[in-house]
Structure 1
Amino acid sequence: MKPVIGVTCSVNHKSLYLADDYVLAIRYAGGVPVLLPVGGEEDIPLLLSKVDGILLSGGGDIDPFWFGEEPVPGLGEIEPGRDAFEIKLCRQVLIKDMPLLAICRGMQVLTVAAGGDMFQDIYSQMDAKLLQHRQQAARTHLSHTVKLSPGSLLEKLAGCHFIKVNSFHHQAVRTVPKPFEVCGRASDGIIEAVENCAARFAIGVQWHPEALIGKNDLVSKNIFSAFIRACRGN
């Protein structure tokens, strides 16, 4: 039986949308994607009873209200309804220890839902000399390197210490709460991956592996395959 994967969506002018790359990546790995509409937080327990795992997708910025801050000038467009739904969804997923893959914005949602916080805009809030994290290239282009932590699950899936990733963000995780650990950083220190090795499967990545599946990127394929295996229970 193929596992059913609930995938979060963006909202724009009363329309839900999701890049097809997520659907194709889940199908490639052997899962069946089901799109989760924003809203209806009271129905989250019912939704979770119908799926085997959750993928938190990328998208717009997160309202700093959720980590106790006022908005800074560099904050981009937010989707308040999406924030509320996904953070509450993620908290219940973590309590139930369901397999979870969090991508780009999804990793930030995961961190905030677990009690961490983030930079609203790295370029105005950090003093370090930063890389270009919002690349001006195709989504399949590998933009910068990420160093993976020795012994981490992500390093085992990658089979090496350094990987190259694509990059489309200006917000970033700042504080990672336990039991999550940082397992990947860019050369400028930006947190690029987190995981909880005690969970069935709980990984967040700041890049977009779903966009690299079609390019035959082995690390991306391994991430999705491991996620779907966890959703099957093996």
Structure 2
Amino acid sequence: MKPLIGITSDIDENGETFLLADYSRAILKAGGLPVVLPAGLEDIDEICKRIDGLLLTGGEDVNPLEFGEEPESNLGKIAPERDKMEIALTKCVIEKDMPVFGICRGQQVLNVALGGTVYQHIYSDLEETLLQHKQQADRNYPTHTVEVKEGSRLSAYAEGKEFLVNSLHHQAVHDVPKPLVVTGKAKDGIIEALESTEHKFVMSVQWHPEALSNRDDVTSLNLFKGFVEACRGGGVGRMIDSE
């Protein structure tokens, strides 16, 4: 029986729910059954009971009020009702030790849900010279390198210490709370991947593997296969210890 994967959705300017098809396609290709969760839904406990895993998708900026900061001038569009729903849902799912996979904004939501913070705009908040993290190439093409922590789940999926990713963000994870650890970074130091040291499968990435999977990118396909297998109740437990 295919595991039921809850996929968070975005809200357009008319208040309508939408989701790029790549997310569902990637879950289907990996053997899961995707169900789109309307942004702002309130039945958090009921959803937690019925899904086998949670995919936190990309989208607009995370509301800084959710991590104790006031909005900066370079903050982009936010969707407060989406933030509240996704943070509550993430906490519920993690409390039940169910698999969670965060992508781009989803990595930031995961980090905030566990008590971490986010750079509201990396090009304003950081003084060092940064790479182009909002690429001008098509989203299906990788444009910069990620360096992977040895012994992590990500290193097993990537089959190496470095690989190429796409990049479509201007926010990024800042303070990382336990039990999350950093397992991937760009060469400018921006955090690109997180994993939990205390859960069966809680991980996130800053890039968009759902788009790269269209090109049969091996790491992207492995990420979704590993996530779906964990949602099925198979696979291995946590792969990296806290330091």
- Secondary structure, counterpart of 2:174 in structure 1: strand
Corresponding position of 1:75: 75
C-alpha separation between the residues in 1 aligned to 2:116 and 2:182? Answer: 12
User: Aligned letter for 1:59?
Assistant: G
Corresponding position of 2:132: 132
Corresponding position of 1:27: 28
Q: Which runs of 4+ in 1 moved over 4 A?
A: none
Alignment of 1:68-217 (within 5 A): 68-217=68-217
C-alpha separation between the residues in 2 aligned to 1:197 and 1:230? Answer: 15
Alpha-carbon displacement from aligned partner over 1:177-216 (angstroms, at most 9, x marks no partner): 0011000000000000000143111111000000011101
**Cα contact 1:115–1:177 (8 A) shared by 2:** yes
C-alpha separation between the residues in 2 aligned to 1:128 and 1:114? Answer: 27
Q: CA deviation at 1:140?
A: 1.0
Alpha-carbon displacement from aligned partner over 1:98-120 (angstroms, at most 9, x marks no partner): 10110000000000000000100
**Cα contact 1:182–1:194 (8 A) shared by 2:** yes
Unaligned runs of 5+ in 2: 235-243
User: Aligned letter for 1:27?
Assistant: L
User: Aligned letter for 1:37?
Assistant: P
- Secondary structure, counterpart of 1:175 in structure 2: coil
**Cα contact 1:104–1:206 (8 A) shared by 2:** yes
Q: CA deviation at 1:19?
A: 0.4
**Cα contact 1:117–1:176 (8 A) shared by 2:** yes
Corresponding position of 1:52: 52
- Secondary structure, counterpart of 1:212 in structure 2: helix
C-alpha separation between the residues in 1 aligned to 2:69 and 2:228? Answer: 36
C-alpha separation between the residues in 2 aligned to 1:14 and 1:140? Answer: 27
C-alpha separation between the residues in 2 aligned to 1:214 and 1:87? Answer: 29
C-alpha separation between the residues in 1 aligned to 2:79 and 2:191? Answer: 23
Aligned residue-pair number: 233
**Cα contact 1:140–1:211 (8 A) shared by 2:** yes
Corresponding position of 2:229: 229
User: Aligned letter for 1:119?
Assistant: Y
Answering whether residue 185 of structure 2 is matched by residue 219 of structure 1, we say no
C-alpha separation between the residues in 2 aligned to 1:40 and 1:232? Answer: 25
Q: CA deviation at 1:157?
A: 1.2
TM-score by length of 2: 0.95
Corresponding position of 1:62: 62
Q: CA deviation at 1:39?
A: 2.2
Alpha-carbon displacement from aligned partner over 1:88-146 (angstroms, at most 9, x marks no partner): 11111111111011000000000000000010000011001000000001011111000
- Secondary structure, counterpart of 2:164 in structure 1: strand
- State the Cα RMSD in Å: 0.7
User: Aligned letter for 1:33?
Assistant: P
**Cα contact 1:153–1:197 (8 A) shared by 2:** no
C-alpha separation between the residues in 1 aligned to 2:213 and 2:123? Answer: 29
Alpha-carbon displacement from aligned partner over 1:25-72 (angstroms, at most 9, x marks no partner): 00000000000012233x111011111000000000011001111111
User: Aligned letter for 1:23?
Assistant: S
User: Aligned letter for 2:75?
Assistant: L
Q: CA deviation at 1:18?
A: 0.5
Corresponding position of 2:241: none
TM-score by length of 1: 0.98
Unaligned runs of 5+ in 1: none
